[in-house]
Amino acid sequence: MKAAVLYEAFKPLVVEDLELERPKEHEVLVKLTASGVCHSDLHYMKGDREHPMPVVLGHEGAGIVEEIGPGVTYAQPGDHVVLSFVPTCGKCSYCVKGRQNLCEARYGLRGNMQDGTTRLRKGSQEIHHFNGLSTFGEYAVVPEDSLVKIREDAPLDRVALIGCGVPTGVGAVINTAKVRPGSSVVVIGTGGVGLNVVQGAVLAGAEAIIGVDIHGGKLEHALQFGATHLINAATEDVMEKVRDITRGEMADYAFEVIGSTEAIKQAMMTTKRGGTTVVVGVTPAGAELTIDPDFLHLDRVLMGCTYGSCYPRADMPMLIDLYMARRLKLDELISATFKIDDINTAFEALDQGEVARSIIRY
Ligand code: CND
Ligand code: ZN
Ligand code: ZN
């Protein structure tokens, strides 16, 4: 099968033919229809985070089950699925307490499948998996627990985005922060994930939704997704503008959706007493955040958030139902579609801030 391989950071992906072994116990072969291009993949390409290499990246995908390995009971060939970058075992202490996004199974992967070996190979060279998924290939062998079955009338290319950007952004608002109707919300970074924070805030009934970015085009997208106010951080004073918009009070909630410690601090500074800041962005390994703890004394909350604190098998079908009922935007998120041969162009467009989200269609 054709796949895009990252051999080392700071080098382009190499699109080439790889061998993919058949699924072993509790694994499934999926024929991918599309994969989203998320900034988390770019962090590894730019050396912000480390991972065993070579690796096939990609963690936002959907497709059709082609073959099931021994012991698989959840899915059958022909099932339409979204892939979850956190497998949920249903048995660990996190899963049984409803914190499936923190499932132990996530930590058994580390570049390989759960048995510590890889199904991907180029000749004699082993190629690593990414989060058990590796969606930048025409096919993927994934753990059974990473599958989320979905309704068959949902368009399989579009719902690939339900694999990361949508549950992360919408979930950060609904599940992590639990934004209340009538709130004021600041979203710093209105890219692929940030736009989903914006539409999550709309679903939650927020009153003021303030989109902050440094690219005018990104801010235009935010308006389309329901932002009520826009701030261009490249030319405007973010704190001052938030103060004006909130009539001097500052915001109830701020979301950092870039992966920058400066932006995390900026997000916190836009919150009022008792306000909540949620860090959605992934910062470079080793980054340090310094804040004046006095700021927290005033009942402010600083929260982390992985995968929008979601339960993939419950939240993803729900988000697809909302999309099918035209209550959630997906089509508008996809501003470009690429073939896998052009995947490096897709990442350049993401890096340059030219797209909301792009997808690779197989
Ligand atoms: P994308 O590149 O689409 O968006 C980032 C946005 O930030 C762009 O619109 C930029 O223009 C904007 N931006 C950059 N610098 C600034 C600045 N100084 N001030 C204001 N805006 C700025 O990235 P994405 O939406 O795909 O991902 C965003 C982050 O979310 C990234 O760090 C990614 O790794 C992370 C993420 C986290 C999780 C999770 O589970 N927590 C899941 N997926 C992605
Ligand atoms: Zn992602
Ligand atoms: Zn678990």
Q: 105: domain CATH number?
A: 3.90.180.10
Ligand nearest to the CA of 236: 1
Nearest to 358 by CA among 62, 42, 38, 15: 38
For the question of residue 43 being annotated catalytic, the response is yes
Q: Is the pLDDT of residue 5 over 90?
A: yes
Q: What is the pLDDT of residue 169?
A: 98
Instruction: Tell which atom from ligand 1 comes closest to the C-alpha of 218.
Output: 9
For the question of residue 134 being annotated catalytic, the response is no
Please count the residues of the chain.
Answer: 362
Instruction: Tell which atom from ligand 1 comes closest to the C-alpha of 280.
Output: 41
For the question of residue 310 being annotated catalytic, the response is no
Ligand nearest to the CA of 97: 3
Among 40, 46, 219, name the best residue to mutate to test ligand 1's pocket (greatest count of ligand atoms within 8 A of Cβ). 40
Which of the following is catalytic: 26, 35, 39, 59? 59
Same domain, 63 and 208: no
d(CA 101, CA 356) in angstroms, rounded, equals 25
Band of the pLDDT at 36, cuts 50, 70, 90? very high
Ligand 1, atom 12, lies closest to the CA of: 189
Query: Model's pTM, two decimal places?
Result: 0.97
Instruction: Tell which atom from ligand 1 comes closest to the C-alpha of 193.
Output: 25
Same domain, 117 and 187: no
The Å distance, Cα 281 to ligand 2 centre, comes to 10
Ligand nearest to the CA of 351: 1
Q: What is the pLDDT of residue 89?
A: 96
The Å distance, Cα 279 to ligand 1 centre, comes to 11
Local structure of residue 348 (DSSP, 8 states): H
Min mean pLDDT across 107-121, 181-195, 310-324 is at 107-121
Which of the following is catalytic: 38, 95, 103, 310? 38
- Note whether residue 196 is domain-resident: yes
Nearest to 69 by CA among 99, 35, 24: 24
Dump pLDDT digits (tens) for 40-96.
999 999 999 999 999 999 999 999 999 999 999 999 999 999 999 999 999 999 999
Domain that holds residue 64: 2-163+330-361
Percent of the chain clearing pLDDT 90 (strictly above): 98
CB-based burial label for 195 (10 Å; 0-12, 13-18, 19+): buried
Q: Is the pLDDT of residue 109 over 90?
A: no
Q: What is the pLDDT of residue 201?
A: 98
- Note whether residue 281 is domain-resident: yes
Q: Is the pLDDT of residue 107 over 90?
A: no
Q: Is the pLDDT of residue 110 over 90?
A: no
Ligand 1-lining residues (CB < 6 angstroms):
38-40, 43, 164, 168, 188-194, 212-215, 218, 233, 257-260, 263, 280-282, 305-307, 350, 353
Local structure of residue 2 (DSSP, 8 states): E
For residue 224, the domain's CATH number is 3.40.50.720
Ligand nearest to the CA of 356: 1
Dump pLDDT digits (tens) for 7-34.
999 999 999 999 999 999 999 999 999 9
Average pLDDT score, the chain: 97
Among 35, 37, 39, name the best residue to mutate to test ligand 1's pocket (greatest count of ligand atoms within 8 A of Cβ). 39
Q: Is the pLDDT of residue 108 over 90?
A: no
The number of folded domains in the chain is: 2
The Å distance, Cα 230 to ligand 3 centre, comes to 40
Same domain, 95 and 219: no
- Note whether residue 290 is domain-resident: yes
| Range 173-193 average pLDDT | 98
Contact 307, 182 (CB under 8 A): no
Q: What is the pLDDT of residue 203?
A: 98
- Note whether residue 262 is domain-resident: yes
| Range 335-346 average pLDDT | 97
- Note whether residue 45 is domain-resident: yes
Neighbours of ion ligand 3 (CB under 5 A): 89, 92, 95, 103
Same domain, 155 and 189: no
- Note whether residue 301 is domain-resident: yes
Which of the following is catalytic: 26, 35, 40, 309? 40
Band of the pLDDT at 124, cuts 50, 70, 90? very high
For the question of residue 164 being annotated catalytic, the response is yes
Contact 207, 289 (CB under 8 A): no
Q: What is the pLDDT of residue 117?
A: 95
The Å distance, Cα 188 to ligand 1 centre, comes to 9
- Note whether residue 143 is domain-resident: yes
